[in-house]
Structure 1
């Protein structure tokens, strides 16, 4: 399994000590605002087991994120194949952080490390990012990463019940040297 250090963070495998703060994050309605439900402790435990199994099996996936200076667990970030049943295929980048970690640039920093790994180590030609249309904070991170959105790619997530969270947006980032196709009025300059 690969560990990804950044200037302020480490993307690493999961530890038993991560479970309590991970479960607390997933039980926080504000952290889970753009998901259909909060998660139970058992669901959080199961997700950690899946994440670590993927890291062990293929060497990449959803890494735990800790602050280098303190060793504090603050969330997760990484890459994962798009789930079956979605209207597109590929590998997506993602992140989720505990509320005290918001506003420090950690999501962007962690996602940049995951993107670099995907392009440099996995030789991916494109990496995707998905969120609900209303999740403006995550969309801002996608813009800061240089990702672009074509409104024609917007979709209703088949895994989300009908309602305001179902409409989703798809962002793309191509490897250096690959052509991108930003849509009119939706440039990646959002800096």
Structure 2
């Protein structure tokens, strides 16, 4: 099972991100379309230098409509997923964007897609002060929070969805075997 932390850096210092990545032993996955910022510490190369081998920019997971106010549109989800798979076997990931509010950021759309369709993961909203105390969230419920503008971006609709707590839990080993069989095109392969 992968722990997926959602982090918006607005009002934060990059050293706080470094601390969280080290404490959680996590890979920081920068999901901005462009890894630039008016604040130099949040630009790609300063982050690479600060976090060392724990930074991955996945441009394909950026929101192509971030600047024009349109609905969330991920540039190329599948290509971004391939970039993540090439980054190694991390058990914890921090999805990083500049947006302060998770319910208004495309990282929630990414987390929902990952959790429901691609990775066995538990999603957390990063607690910057105490990363180990981060709160687990249901992406289904978070997308419906007051103030969320992301539901229009979700496709396809899942009318029979349940909250995360109602879902059956699968061991990481079982999920990994299933995923490996899927990637290799095997069906009912003997273990």
Q: TM-score range by the shorter chain?
A: 0.3 to 0.5
Q: TM-score, normalised by structure 2?
A: 0.32
Larger RCO: Structure 1 or Structure 2 (Cα < 8 Å, ≥ 6 residues apart)? 2
More strand by share: 1
More helix by share: 2
Q: TM-score, normalised by structure 1?
A: 0.32
